[in-house]
Amino acid sequence: NLHFHNFFLFCHVLQESLLSSASGYSNYRGILNWCVVMLVLSNARLFLENIIKYGILVDPIQVVSLFLKDPYSWPSACLIIASNVFILAALYTERRLAVGTISKMTGLILHIFNLTSLLIFPSATVLTLTSMTPVGGVLSLGVYTVLFLKLYSYQDTNRWCREIRQAKAKKLTRSYSCKYINTQSVHTYVSYPGNLTHRDMYYFVFAPTLCYQLNFPRSPRIRKRFLIRRLFEMVRGNWMVPTIQNSMKPFQVPNHLIWLIFFYWFFHSSMNFVAELLQFGDREFYKDWWNSETVTYFWANWNIPVHKWCLRHFYKPMLKKGINKFLAQTAVFLMSAFFHEYLVSVPLKMFRLWAFMGMMAQVPLAWFVGRFLNGNYGNAAVWISLIIGQPVAVLMYVHDYYVIHYGGTT
C-alpha cells in the first residue's frame, strides 16, 4: 500500500526528453522503418505515374544516347575495353620482377610509364574525339582513375611482398608466403608469387576496393535475396529518368539531394551488389559521415575505399619519410583536388579549376571547423558546406559550359 500511495504522490522524476541528446536514447528503428515505408510508397507512386505517362522506359537507344551522340558508335566503350592493355602490362611487369628477369629499376620505370599512360591516354582520347559526350567522358575517365589507383596499389603490395621475401630469404632456407589469413573463409589462399595470375588480377579489378592484398576476406556464399534487393535498388533509378529530365531547370532539384541519392545508389546498392556477386567480404564502403562534427571526419568516412587507399599508399608513406601530419594531409587534399578537376574539366573540355579550388578550400575549412566549432555546430557546418558548396561549384561549371556552347545563339 505504501508503494501504491508513493506512486500517486510522486509521479515525476528528473529526466530528459527522449529526443534530447542528453537522454542517451539511440533506438530509432521505428523512424528508420518509417523512412523505408515512405521510400517504397513514393517509388511505387513514381513507378505507376511513369508507366501511365511514359510506358516502358527501358529503351536501349535512349540509354546509349546518354553516353554517345551517335547511338551506333561506341567511343567510351572502346576506351574502357582498351584499358585491358594497362592491366595486363602491370601483371606481366610483376611476373618479370618476381622471377628476376628484369631489374628493380626497370620494373619501376615500366610501372611509372604504365600508370602515367593510364591518365594521359584516356584524357587525350576524350579531348580529341568529337563523338565523346561529357557523360561518356566522365564514365571513361572514372574507370581509368579507378584503375590507376588499383594498379598503383597492386605494384606497391607486390613490391612489399618481394621485399619481405628477400628479407626472409636471408634468414630462412624455405620460401616465405606474403599472405593475409582469414580462418573463417573456405577459399584457397595464395602466396607470393602465386598470386600473379589473370584470375587474381581481374578479381581485384572488379572487386569493390582500391587496395590490393593477396587474399581478400570472402563471404561463404552468395545470398540471392540480398543480391535481388540490391539489384532492385539499382534498377529503380530508371524510373526517375523522366522526372529528372522534367526537372532540368535551374535549382528545381536540390543538388545535395541528387548527391545523396547517388551516394546510396553507388556506395550501398551498387557496391554491395558487386561485393555479393564476387563474395567480397569487406563491406565497409562508408561510415557514419552524416554525423561528422569535423570536415576531416567527413572526408575520412564518406568514401572508405578511397580513404583506405590514401591512408595506405599516400599518407602513411609520407609520415614514414618524416613529413609532418599537416603537410601530409594537405598533400592528400591536393591529390584529391587534382582528380576532382581531372574528372570534370577533361570531359567538359574546359579548364576552370572550380573543382580544384573547391577541394583545396577544404583545408582552411577543416582547420576552422576543428578549431572553433564542435558537436552539433560542427555537424551543421559540415552539412552547410555540402548543401551550399557543391551547388555553387556545379553552377559555375554549368554556367561556363552554357556560355561556351550556347552563349552565341542567344
Active site amino acids: 340
Q: How far apart are CA 70 and CA 76, in angstroms?
A: 12
User: Which 3 state secondary structure label does DSSP give 203?
Assistant: helix
Ramachandran assignment for 292, one of left (phi > 0), alpha (psi -120 to 50 degrees), beta (any other): beta
User: Which 3 state secondary structure label does DSSP give 118?
Assistant: helix
Of the candidates 90, 88, 95, 92, the one whose C-alpha atom is nearest the C-alpha of residue 162 is 95
Residue 375's contacts (CB-CB under 8 Å, 6 or more residues apart) are: 293
Of the candidates 186, 178, 237, 239, the one whose C-alpha atom is nearest the C-alpha of residue 212 is 178
> Which backbone phi and psi does 344 adopt, to 5 degrees?
-110, -50
Q: What secondary structure letter does DSSP report for 279? A: T
> Which backbone phi and psi does 219 adopt, to 5 degrees?
-80, 150
Residues 176, 168: contact at Cβ < 8 Å? Answer: yes
The DSSP bridge partners found for residue 218 are 280
Type of residue at 292: S
Residues 140, 346: contact at Cβ < 8 Å? Answer: no
Query: Whose grid coordinates read 615500366?
Result: 110
Residues 294, 366: contact at Cβ < 8 Å? Answer: yes
Of the candidates 207, 364, 390, 383, the one whose C-alpha atom is nearest the C-alpha of residue 290 is 383
Q: How far apart are CA 36 and CA 44, in angstroms?
A: 12
Type of residue at 379: N
Q: How far apart are CA 328 and CA 399, in angstroms?
A: 34
Residues 161, 178: contact at Cβ < 8 Å? Answer: yes
Distances 348 to 93, 130, 224, 324 between C-alpha atoms, Å? 34, 11, 40, 36
The count of other CB atoms within 10 Å of the CB of residue 258 is 16
